[in-house]
Homo-oligomer: A and B are copies of this chain.
Amino acid sequence: MPYQSPVTDIRLILSHVAGFDKVAETERFSEATPDMVDAILTEAARMCDDILAPLQRAGDTHPARLENGVVRTSPGFDAGYAAIAEGGWVGMSASPDHGGMGLPITLAMAVNDMMSGACLSLQLNPLMSQGQIEALEHHASDEIKALYLPKLISGEWCGTMNLTEPQAGSDVGALQSKAEPNGDGTYAITGQKIYISWGDNDFSENVCHLVLARLPDGVPGTKGISLFMVPKIIPNEDGTLGDHNSLRVLSLEHKMGLHGSPTAVMSYEGAKGWLVGHEHGGMAAMFTMMNNARLGVGIQGIGTAEGATQHAMAYATERKQGRAGGTGTIIEHADVRRMLATMRAQTFAARSIALSCAVAIDMATATGDPAWKARAALLTPISKAFGTDTGMEVSSLGVQVHGGMGYIEETGAAQYYRDVRVTAIYEGTNGIQAMDLVGRKLSDGGEATYQLLEEICDDAEAAKAREPELARLVWDAAESLLETTEWLVTCDTPDDRNAGAVPYLRAFALVLGAQAHLAAALADPKRRALANFYIRRLLPEHRALLAHVREGAEGLMEISPDDLAA
């Protein structure tokens, strides 16, 4: 049973959970009519199902490799990438000024979701370009925009993000790469960068690196960092290609998964670069790039969860075993049914949150309303962390449904489990996301959160007549989350908030997921069974998580390294 893009679920979420109709009603996105949305989802699904999904296993069994300094990609990835580029999927939400389709980011994320489920390692490539396009649109000079954006949007060139250095991971401010003015408006970039996803490939004409580095007068820490465009091949002003830049791939990492995506150690050796944004303004530009990428990575987790769920469903409905009634396949066992229902229900919850986040981004773009901006900012770390946690949890259940077969690589279940593991780490670990949520995102005194929780309570109130029991459970959960949020806002120390940041984020996501399931049940009677499962069986975890949060840091930091030794 081959992969089928989850068009039905996405449509339901757009229409009845995430409120996409509001986006289509704005002038900015008035082209996103229901017919247009249908056409896009259908067309993208065809590409994902027919062209990308068949590449999934080759990306694992034939990893990208470095040959004489050149990256050779997995078999078929060149044709897969060409399909993505030619379909216009890289620049879907990019501005039409430089060839983009100007569509809502929500649709781009829906397509990213489908592509991730089909072939995660290849999908990571256009995701990087999308982040770069957005960063350039917001921060680059007109010259850079005119030169780079058309090529990135068409997919002729690819983009990468160069943040991390060996001694500077989550603490970006510790980076040491240098940028020296060349005197002609360009800069000489020198330094080593690690974990560069798709740092090179053999199917695009050029690879454009956005590199964080420090100018000679840059102060230590994040405030002294600037962003530079450093192309692999230096383009002429007309967009034709000139000389090779002074940069190279030193090596590719040997990773647990995602073997189709080359993760490079990059060396910049006085490479020519162009400033993007203001001097010392690199962090702002980077956050633009990362915000998009954070939601995109959450979507990667969700897409992988989708792929793993379909894979397990196919096995469970074919594998005959035991004396269970019905068809005699293992899906008739209550425990297998529980696992599959958990997979589907969590995937739906995570997808709903991420697409709601995307809708908030679009609404902020279309209306400029700070409330939408705050909503998007609030939902971004939740989408990233819960989406990727869901990817891990669901792919692990996928392995388990397969029993012994799940541990054998040829089955393919293990690949989802290995591939998705990195999504909880890159673009800011899930711990960093959670600290962002309880830190920066509550620094408004909790206003954006309270507004969202009020909406959930209102939704539950409105649902009471038709779904009294489920509505009550959702209302209670939102109230509990509200109380703990109030407690967090008044916490004295960052440690008190950070100690429970990860459980708080998960509790928040569970409540949002319950809201989504309730909405789905109201919209479609066929969704009631799954909503019931989620709200009655999975949602209760939020109480335990909130109890954890309320403990704060007291007693935690007293557990010494000695106490943690065996």
Kindly state the separation between the CA atoms of A495 and B347 in the bound complex, as whole angstroms.
25
CB of B547 within 8 A of CB of A533, answer no
- State the Cβ distance, A536 to closest chain B Cβ, in Å: 6
Instruction: Give chain B residues whose Cβ lies under 8 Å from the Cβ of A257.
Output: 407
List B contacts of A320 (CB < 8 A): 167
The residue of chain B having its C-beta at the shortest distance from the C-beta of A393 within the complex is B396
Q: Which residues from B are CB-within-8-Å of A558?
A: 529
Asked if A421 and B403 sit within 8 Å, CB to CB, the answer is no
Report whether B334 and A553 are in contact in the complex, using a CB–CB cutoff of 8 Å: yes
Among the interface residues A194, A533, A557, which one has the most CB atoms of the partner chain B within 10 A? Answer: A557
From known contacts A170-B322, A529-B558, infer whether A406 and B418 are also in contact, taking CB-CB under 8 Å.
Answer: no
Give the interface size bracket for A toward B: 35 or more
CB 8 Å contact bits of A550-566 with B (1 = contact, 0 = none): 01010111111111111
Given A171-B321, A404-B425, A547-B537, A254 and B335 contact (CB-CB distance below 8 Å): no
Interface residues in A1-38 (C-beta closer than 8 Å to B): 4-9
Decide: B164 and A310 in contact? CB cutoff 8 A.
no
> Is A98's beta carbon under 8 Å from chain B?
no
Contact A540 B530 (CB under 8 A): no
Asked if A335 meets B431 with Cβ closer than 8 Å, knowing A404-B164, A556-B533, the reply is yes
A329 (CB) vs chain B CBs: closest residue: B561
Question: Could you tell me if B337 and A556 are in contact, using CB atoms closer than 8 angstroms?
Answer: yes
Chain B residues positioned under 8 Å from A532 (CB to CB): 555
Report if A322-B408 is in contact (Cβ < 8 Å); known contacts: A421-B399, A551-B536, A564-B313: no
Bound-state CA distance A134–B465 (Å) is 62
Within the complex, the shortest CB–CB distance from A376 to chain B, in Å, comes to 24
Q: How far is the CA of A559 from the CA of B526 in the complex (A)?
A: 9
- How many copies of the chain does the oligomer comprise? 2
Q: Are B557 and A337 in contact (CB under 8 A)?
A: yes
A335 touches B502 (CB 8 A): yes
> Could you say which of A277-285, A338-346, A454-462 contacts chain B?
A338-346
Closest to A430 in B: B400
Give Cα A566–Cα B307 distance, bound, in whole angstroms: 10
- Report if A476 contacts B (CB, 8 A): no
Q: Is the CB of A417 within 8 A of B256?
A: yes
B425–A400 touching, CB < 8 Å:
yes
- Given A321-B170, A529-B555; A498-B333 close (CB under 8 Å): yes
Q: Contact check: which of B321, B333, B435 meets A169 at CB < 8 Å? A: B321
A338 touches B399 (CB 8 A): no
State the CA gap A298–B499 with chains docked (Å): 30
Kindly report which residue of chain B lies nearest to residue A253, judged by CB atoms: B408
Let me know if A559 and B341 touch, CB within 8 A.
Answer: yes
Which B residues are in CB contact (< 8 Å) with A171? 321-323
User: In A510-560, which residues have CB < 8 Å from any B CB?
Assistant: 526-527, 529-530, 532-533, 536-538, 540-544, 547-548, 551, 553, 555-560
* CB < 8 Å neighbour of A556 from B195, B334, B566: B334
Q: Which residue of B lies closest to A494 (CB)?
A: B334
Q: Which of A9, A167, A417, A495 has the most CB of B within 10 A?
A: A495
Known: A403-B425, A421-B417, A429-B403. A334 touches B564 (CB 8 A): no
Q: Chain B CB within 10 Å — which of A6, A256, A339, A424 has the most?
A: A256
Bitwise, A351-383 to B at CB < 8 A (1) or not (0) is: 000000000000000000000000000000000
Chain B residue at minimum C-beta to C-beta distance from A310: B566
A141 at the interface (CB under 8 A from B): no
A483, CB-defined interface residue at 8 Å:
no
- Return chain B residues, CB-CB under 8 Å to A66: none
Q: Which residues on B sit within 8 Å (CB–CB) of A421?
A: 396, 399, 407, 414, 417
Check: A317 CB closer than 8 A to any chain B CB. yes
Q: A255-B409, A566-B306 are in contact. Are A540 and B544 (CB under 8 A)?
A: yes
A422 part of interface (Cβ distance < 8 Å): yes
Bound-state CA distance A408–B530 (Å) is 37
Q: A321-B169, A409-B254, A425-B407 are in contact. Are A334 and B563 (CB under 8 A)?
A: no
Known: A335-B435, A335-B501. 7 other contacts (CB 8 A): A8-B566, A253-B408, A306-B566, A339-B431, A344-B564, A540-B543, A541-B544
Tell me the A residues contacting B by CB distance below 8 Å: 4-9, 164, 167-171, 174, 194-195, 253-257, 306, 309-310, 313, 317, 320-323, 331, 333-341, 343-344, 347, 392, 396, 399-400, 403-404, 406-410, 414, 417-418, 421-422, 424-426, 429-431, 434-435, 494-495, 498-502, 526-527, 529-530, 532-533, 536-538, 540-544, 547-548, 551, 553, 555-566
A sample of 21 cross-chain residue pairs with beta-carbon separation below 8 angstroms, ordered by A number, consists of A5-B566, A194-B404, A255-B414, A256-B408, A256-B418, A309-B566, A335-B501, A338-B502, A341-B556, A343-B564, A344-B563, A400-B429, A403-B425, A403-B429, A404-B425, A407-B425, A533-B555, A537-B547, A538-B548, A540-B544, A540-B548
List the 3 closest pairs (A to B, CB-CB), nearest first: A6-B566, A540-B544, A334-B498
